[in-house]
Chains A and B, each alone.
Chain A
Amino acid sequence: MSINQKRYILLNNTIMMQKFFNIKTLVSTSIFAVITAAMVSCGGGGGSTSGADSTASGSSDDNTLIGAGSSFDNPLFSKQFSEYNKANGLKVNYQSVGSGAGISQLTAKTVDFGASDAPMNGKQDSAISAPAIHIPITAGAVVLSYNLPEVKDTLKLTPEVLADIFLGKITKWNDAKIAAENKGVMLPATSIVIAHRSDGSGTSNIFTTYLSKVSEEWSTKVGKGSSVNWPAGLGGKGNEGVAGLIKNTPGTIGYIELAYAVQNQMPYAKLKNKAGNFITPSIASVTAAANIQIPADSKVSLTNTDAADGYPISGFSWVIIYKEQKYNSRSAERATKLLKLISWMIHDGQQFSSALTYAPLSPAAVSAGDAILKSATYDGKPILQ
């Protein structure tokens, strides 16, 4: 008896459940399809869609500012923001994602400020919806480090020799062109191994900008950029990657940030500047390089500087913000806090530079920065007086 009953119920239930679940499966399948389609189309939009805009400006917490960009600036910014937080209670969340990524996040309005080792280029300028202003925030230098165990003196290089080495035209350390500048130094007869950055970086940008200025051949064959088509050599990821190649391979020459070279006690070459002096890269010679006539928008390259005691491969790093701070329903208070923070960074904040091997801003750069900050507006009215 009950067996039959059970069978009936089983049968009936199975049919019922199957119908029920078929419908449900259909529904859930279509939901998944919709979600996937949404994900795909979001990704296809190039990240500049308005959906992501709410992060920085819509956030109710006006006591936390968000920034993103240059990894070169990160150690200095960490110190500055923590000191500023102690004094003023303002939190700054800085993501060290790289200069290019910082600019794209500013373009997408997901951050309050971007930081970059290179000013925005033409394509980036046309991508951004409103004018942005650049404020020089610190200066750094790129040095030529080498691994020549036999050489005890500091190597001297001229721009021509440097370009020829990186073009792959000078291939031996005892080449007559190198020897001519380094009289009395015993140069080995080994091959030159070149080390460059494999990742896109502001460091490469400063270095290739310099080479493009001093060498016609470099400018036409390779050009400048955060990633270029290197005619010769090995690539290392990050400063530590290039430094690793230099340390491990005798006969290597490569370019790294001054701060990294100093902290890791790596030897670096003196370089002849535009005025004809051989300059040892240091905080002082970088600040000197920045003490030149600075244009109103501050978008100037310090490479191959005119300053007589300036190190020629130096460059500013900039903080980039929108000139009109009223966008995406940002509050006036938030805009004021941002401007005050940046103003503090270029004045009082500079005292933390030297200890971290950053070059403090030159007086010319600070006054240019002040003028630019005053041009920022909220709803058409200037923010800082």
Chain B
Amino acid sequence: MVTRSDLPLRVINSTPEAILKAKKRARRSFRQIRTENVFKRTLSIMGLVIVILVLGILLTLVVQSLPSIKALGFKYLWSKVWDPVQDIYGAWPFLLGTLLSSFLALIISIPFSVAVAIFLGEYHPKGWLPNFLKNTVELIAAVPSVIYGFWGLAVLVPIVRSFESSIGVEPVGVGIFSSSLILAVMIIPYAASLGRSMINLVPSHLKEAAYGLGATRWEVIRSVVLPYTKSGLFAGILLSLGRALGETMAVTMVIGNTSLIPKSIFAPGNTMASVIANEFTEADKPVYLSALIELGLVLFLVTVVINLIGKKIIDRFTNE
């Protein structure tokens, strides 16, 4: 045990050089501790800022939606008419459009993202071709969404239109189906990248043991790799769903933007994000503006709820 009074006695070598050396060392360690603490403090402040920012956004959304909540009540969520002229606002068509287009996009994208993840993670982890494929997939995430919108309008919509006329629905082209296709392409990299790194993390002794027991490659993937990585794959899929829910520009260009309730997946519709983007600048009545902000609040809450459900499912997977 060191006490303050002990110290001077313990300095046996008390030549000026030695004392100077000791002082230097002391200064150095002081600096080290300070750097350490400053770094730690910076990290905690950064973390805190993020939390405050999210809570601040939520609070702003709630405060600004109050006029609309007061005027319209909770039936806002399930009433079906959005009529700015009469000051009647119901979010149901847009809630439905958002969920429909996002989940449809998810269903379309899952086979592709899982396949890419398995191909890059298990079959060809190294080499120029997999590298090229990997970079291409990541590039998909880097392309601005307005470009997907243009591509969708110019290329995808005419294809969808001829497809629609061949199956006998009204050949409009734009609609929920087109926006789901665009969204599916846009969200592939999120699930694929995360899935690939999870597959890389599967311990090789597990796979070797399976091969040693005479399993084929498909059997190893099915009974070792996929069970081991399912929580990671699911997390990636959840991430891509979050992206799909909030996507605005590309969707608004191909979804058809109508406040009517979509009758089928080929019908035009609208999403919450695109309604906000479309109508915010010219919302000239207080309740109208507030109803649009409440739409943002609903979108925020939908994202939170879906994330919470996803977390629960991941927990269940990992606890098994």
Contacts and interface: CB of A to CB of B under 8 A. Distances in A.
Interface of A: 1-2, 4-11, 13-14, 17-18, 21, 24-25, 28-29, 32-33, 36, 39-40, 43-44, 46, 97-101, 103-104, 121, 123-124, 191, 193, 198-201, 222-230, 232-237, 241, 244-245, 248-249
A191 B171 CA distance: 10
Contact of B85 (A14, A36, A223): A223
Contact of B157 (A193, A224, A235, A248): A248
B252 A237 contact: yes
8 contacts: A6-B25, A13-B29, A43-B60, A98-B282, A198-B252, A199-B278, A229-B82, A235-B258
B304 interface: no
Interface string B253-284: 10011111000000010100010011101111
B41 interface: yes
B60 A40 contact: yes
Q: Chain A at the B interface: mostly helix, strand, loop or mixed? A: helix
Contact of B13 (A1, A21, A223, A229): A1
Interface residue tally of chain B, by bracket?
35 or more
Nearest to A228: B85
Given A234-B268, A248-B173, A227 B84 contact: yes
Contacts of A124: 284
A249 B22 CA distance: 84
Nearest to A230: B258
A137 B246 CA distance: 40
A225 B84 contact: yes
A229 B259 CA distance: 7
B69 to A, nearest CB: 14
Given A2-B22, A200-B279, A224 B284 contact: no
B33 A235 contact: no
A271 to B, nearest CB: 23
Contacts of A101: 281-282
Given A21-B41, A248-B157, A225 B279 contact: no
A14 B49 CA distance: 26
B153 interface: yes
Contacts of B252: 198, 237
Interface stretch (B4-12, B98-106, B123-131, B211-219): B4-12
Contact of A223 (B4, B86, B256): B86
Contacts of B274: 198
A40 B22 contact: no
A249 B173 contact: yes
A24 B41 contact: yes
B167 to A, nearest CB: 16
B257 A237 contact: yes
Interface string B55-97: 1100110011000000000000000011111100000000000
Interface of B: 2, 4, 6-7, 10-13, 22, 25-26, 29-30, 33-34, 37, 41, 44-45, 48-49, 52-53, 55-56, 59-60, 63-64, 81-86, 153, 157-158, 161, 170, 172-174, 252-253, 256-260, 268, 270, 274, 277-279, 281-286
Give 3 closest A-B pairs by Cβ, nearest first: A200-B282, A235-B257, A198-B257
Contacts of B30: 9, 13
Contacts of B157: 248
A1 B29 contact: no
Contact of A100 (B53, B60, B283): B283
A234 B64 contact: no
Nearest to A10: B29
A241 B281 CA distance: 17
Given A10-B29, A234-B172, A235-B256, A123 B63 contact: no
Contact of B253 (A226, A227, A237): A237
A201 B280 CA distance: 11
Given A21-B41, A36-B52, A226 B282 contact: yes
Nearest to B173: A249
A244 B153 contact: yes
A7 to B, nearest CB: 6
Contact of A227 (B7, B22, B172, B279): B279
Given A43-B64, A101-B281, A229 B33 contact: no
Given A1-B13, A101-B281, A43 B83 contact: no
Given A2-B25, A32-B48, A249-B161, A98 B281 contact: yes
Contacts of B60: 39-40, 43-44
Contacts of A104: 284
B61 to A, nearest CB: 9
Contact of A228 (B84, B153, B158, B172): B84
Given A223-B85, A234-B256, A99 B59 contact: no
B169 to A, nearest CB: 12
Contact of A198 (B25, B84, B278, B285): B278
A5 B10 contact: yes
Given A8-B2, A39-B56, A248-B157, A17 B282 contact: no
B258 A234 contact: yes
